[in-house]
Amino acid sequence: MTNVVVIGSQWGDEGKGKIVDWLSERADVVVRFQGGHNAGHTLVIDGVSYKLSLLPSGVVREGKFSLIGNGVVFDPHAFVAELERLAEKGVTVGPDRLRIAENTALILSVHRELDGIREDAASNSGTKIGTTRRGIGPAYEDKVGRRAIRAMDLKNMETLPAKVDRLLTHHNALRRGLGYEEVAHETLMDELQSVAETIVPYIDRVWKILDDYRRRGARILFEGAQGTLLDIDHGTYPFVTSSNTTAGQAATGSGIGPGSVGYVLGITKAYTTRVGEGPFPTEQDNDIGQFLGERGYEFGTVTGRKRRCGWFDAVLVRQAVAINGITGIALTKLDVLDGLDEIRICVGYKLDGEEIDYLPASQGAQARVEAIYETVEGWKATTAGARTWNDLPAQAVKYVRHIEELIGAPVALLSTSPERDDTILVTDPFHD
Ligand code: IMP
């Protein structure tokens, strides 16, 4: 049985929601393996729209099981709020349908505050990352620093105080240094106690559940968040998120062997966007960028921030194909390019006078690369709503074929509008 991992092959916001929704209908179990509630997408099912940030997409579908893996950083307050929002829409997500890995690190108020404090301080020094201020980075720091409070700790109120002390020793030292008030032990204990009762029934051994599903030959969908260029190792460091957003993390972030990951579907936008700070070689801070942003409705789902927009960067996506082992891509938002006379594609970079065909790893070099473009003819007819190749103008087909060639991976799905059925299916990633 083929399992599928869905990852973003650019800077996130490639349109994963619609594709994950479509795939989750075919899956038996849906697993989140990294990130936290910094992600966000909207699913529209039978005319009702659901906004999800932390919960896997399987939760809005009857008969699907959902898992939050150990690679996620889990904000219990965001979790409770998301459960409540779903309940208002008539969707009850109990432990019969969702489990959280016992070894998942928690995001607490101290992390959220620290994220905000640092971003505010950085605004004045020019080192701002432009985070979602959800506490993601500080929570991962504590996990790697071996002082995190983990989901399983909520089950044992006797051992919790010592863990809270250890965490606060670190945070209060930081807070003092930054000129902020210390957090009292009781405050954090109260915070944890207030959510423990709700969370504890969901806590489980996710690795074991996944192993059982795998042995039964069930279909597993690994739902990635953010995108390859935001990966802590492979992205545009330090302007990245604090987790591995690439396909390999599906295994370690959920507790399954890499051989079980299967098909890697890279969600890829027909142009490029990014939110937050950092290098963006094909950015168009001009009328074209404005056009793409307005036509593509490029505003963040989580923070509402305007996304930066630019031409398709084949260098970046080719690198993403290599790093993730992308089997096929889902190309999204092709219709946003409808009506343009000419379309540009970045096919290489110039760095200090020399041509290169990859994104260099250093921050300085990333800031200096200049895009080398190829210009292709646009198409006047609309691609919006196309459901077969024959519905597409010849130039649009040529654009898609050229992208395949440049990135070295085939298009498995082509999405031509936010509507679910407006999709051209070339290969079903779950197909055995
Ligand atoms: P953090 O993940 O909140 O720490 O933010 C770090 C960087 O990742 C910032 O540039 C954010 O804008 C970006 N980021 C985080 N989550 C997403 C997402 O879901 N889509 C796009 N960018 C994101």
What is the residue extent of each domain of the chain?
4-94+206-425, 105-201
> Helices 136-144 & 109-125, crossing angle to 10 degrees?
110
Does the structure show a pLDDT above 80 at 24? yes
Q: What is the CATH number of domain 105-201?
A: 1.10.300.10
Residue type, 288: I
Mean pLDDT of 73-81: 97
- pLDDT tens digit string along 186-225? 999 999 999 999 999 999 999 999 999 999 999 999 999 9
d(CA 206, CA 253): 10
Spatial neighbors of 54 by CB under 8 A, at least 6 apart, are 32, 36, 37, 39, 68, 72, 74, 75, 78, 79, 82
Mean pLDDT of the chain: 95
Rounded Cα–Cα distance for residues 126 and 122 (Å): 6
Q: Per the omega criterion (within 30 degrees of 0), is the bond before 95 cis?
A: no
| Nearest Cα residue to atom 15 of ligand 1 | 38
pLDDT of residue 33: 98
Angle between helices 185-199 and 76-88 (to 10 degrees): 40
**Closest residue by CA, ligand 1 atom 10:** 276
Q: Which pLDDT score is estimated for 1? A: 63
Specify whether 41 is catalytic.
yes
Pocket of ligand 1 (CB under 6 A): 12-13, 38-40, 129-132, 134, 136-137, 225-226, 230, 239, 241-242, 275-276
Structure tokens at 101: 């890995």
Element (H, E) at 424: strand 423-425
Token output for 340: 């343009």
CATH superfamily of 4-94+206-425: Adenylosuccinate Synthetase, subunit A, domain 3 (3.90.170.10)
Of the listed 37, 41, 111, 171, which one is catalytic? 41
At 73, is the secondary structure helix, strand, or coil? strand
Atom of ligand 1 nearest to the CA of 303: 12
Q: Which of 267, 269, 329, 323 is nearest to 295 (CA)?
A: 269
Residue 428 amino acid letter: D
- At residue 170, the pLDDT reads 98
> What's the 15 CA to ligand 1 centre distance in angstroms?
15
Q: Give the pLDDT band of residue 342 (cuts 50, 70, 90).
A: very high
User: Does 13 participate in catalysis according to the annotation?
Assistant: yes
Ligand 1 atom with least separation from CA of 115? 4
Residue 302: pLDDT over 80: no
pLDDT > 70? residue 3: yes
Predicted structure pTM score: 0.96
How confident is the model at residue 253, as a pLDDT?
Answer: 98
Q: Cα of 265 to ligand 1 centre, how many Å?
A: 20
Percent of the chain with pLDDT over 90: 88
Q: In a mutational test of the pocket of ligand 1, which residue from 10, 32, 75, 226 has the highest number of ligand atoms less than 8 Å from its CB?
A: 226
Percentage with pLDDT > 70 across the chain: 100
CA of 351 to the centre of ligand 1 (A): 27
* Integer Cα distance of 102 and 68 in angstroms: 10
- How far apart, in whole angstroms, are the C-alpha atoms of residue 275 and residue 308? 6
Listed residue (248, 244, 205) closest to 227, CA to CA: 244
Residue 418 pLDDT more than 90? no
Give residue 251's pLDDT.
98
Confidence at residue 284, expressed as pLDDT on a 0 to 100 scale:
98
Which string of DSSP letters, residue by residue, matches 255-321? T--GGGT-EEEEEEESSEEE-SSS--TTB--SHHHHHHHHHTT-B-TTT-PBPEEE-EEHHHHHHHH
Least confident window among 116-130, 146-160, 311-325: 116-130
Coil, strand, or helix at residue 328?
A: strand
Helix H or strand E segment including 251: helix 249-252
Nearest CA-CA partner of 281 in 250, 307, 256, 312: 312
Distance 38 CA to ligand 1 centre (A): 6
Confidence of residue 432 (pLDDT cuts 50, 70, 90): low
Q: What is the DSSP letter of 227?
A: -
Of 384, 308, 373, 383, nearest to 343 by C-alpha is 373
Residue type, 260: S
pLDDT of residue 42: 80
The rounded distance, in Å, linking the Cα atoms of 38 and 78 is: 10
- What separation in Å is there between the alpha carbon of 34 and the centre of ligand 1? 12
**Residue 23 burial (C-beta neighbours within 10 Å; 0-12, 13-18, 19+):** buried
Residue 369 has pLDDT above 80, yes or no: yes
pLDDT at residue 74 is higher than 80:
yes
Question: Which atom, in ligand 1's list, is nearest to the CA of 278?
Answer: 10
Q: How far apart are CA 414 and CA 122, in angstroms?
A: 40
Q: Is the pLDDT of residue 124 over 80?
A: no
